[in-house]
Structure 1
Amino acid sequence: MTVDTPTPESTPTRRSPLAAWQDSLARLPADLRVTELPFLTQLTLRAQPGGPAAKAVEGVLGITLPGPVSAHLSGDVEALWMGPDEWLLVAPDGSRHDLLTRLRSAVGEEFATVIDVSAQRTTLALSGRLVRTVLAHGCAVDLDPRVTPVGSCLNTLLAQAPVTLVVRDDAATDVRLLVRSSFASYLAAWLVDACTEYGAGGGCG
């Protein structure tokens, strides 16, 4: 029996959920830059907060898992609170296998799960003076820094699309939106439409 070795021609080419939207996103106003961050490693951790499995994961990552509606944003692996016993661990593309192996080994037989969900979502990085203004058109979350300071992580709706919204700076001018791949094109179209009244400007980077 022979085994076929994959060739570059036969290896599937990855295509991001928003590949067709790059030109449109680049024509948004200069005060709102939108960049897709595709193919990030995303792992769902389910464990009892403060329990042995959670502590083991914290030891591997060198962080403390965040509490409700917050995120740990420093280091190679970011941890987003998703529910009472659930976190989303986000890391650079290409780190999935190593991170899964290390975390599952650390958890061992403890009552916990670490699942690869990288294909479920893509990530949009929004920055600029208009971030809060534009998001306010379709999101009920108050992005005033006094209400949602840096490190806030909320599961909410933007234009009726479920998103995880992460505030990454003190003025809410640097925000990440994690959105299901099936909703990504809809959300990109909404962002382009929501920016119409602000005119076109420089490209996003």
Structure 2
Amino acid sequence: MIGLYIFLGFLVLSAFYGIGIYNRLVKLSTLVDEAWSGIDVQLKKRYNLIPNLVETVKGYASHEKETFENVTKARSQAQNATTVDEQQAAENQLNKALINLYAVAEQYPELKANENFLNLQNELSVIEGDIEKSRRYYNGTTRDYNILIDSFPSNIVAGLTKFEKAAFFEIEMAAERENPQVKF
């Protein structure tokens, strides 16, 4: 009889432990989603700023049509990305296009002195910093979530309840790991 009570006690404790793990998985999954939302907000601010930046540069360098088209195309692809991997690839392309846009702007001293351009440049720099902070937060919550999914015994609960690992948001090339540096 005592053996039965011990067994039932073990089952009850195991159930509570499993529920605790499940709730922690739900919490971390929600934090990952919330962190991704934070990145999305910052990226949208950036996307809204880019057309103003392009138009300002276009006023001084109208013959650089290909550069402007590349920035516009990369911005559109980034806005339409739906997964973390797609967003990573699109952001890499957008960063390259923006670097080319800044290289064009570098050739025009009048543009470098334009107050509107300087304000846009400063605003973009602030947004890039905010994006970096959002990426760090996202990757931190993703790390914690993925560790819980991989650790024993939570990996059993995660497998039974269909929790899957989240992808990190990383930039592939070392040169692109830094915010675009604009020097005018």
The structure in which a higher percent of residues are helix is: 2
| TM-score range relative to shorter protein | under 0.3
Q: Output the TM-score relative to the length of structure 1.
A: 0.25
Structure (1 or 2) with the larger CA radius of gyration: 2
Q: Output the TM-score relative to the length of structure 2.
A: 0.26
The structure in which a higher percent of residues are strand is: 1
Higher relative contact order (CA 8 A, sep 6+): 2
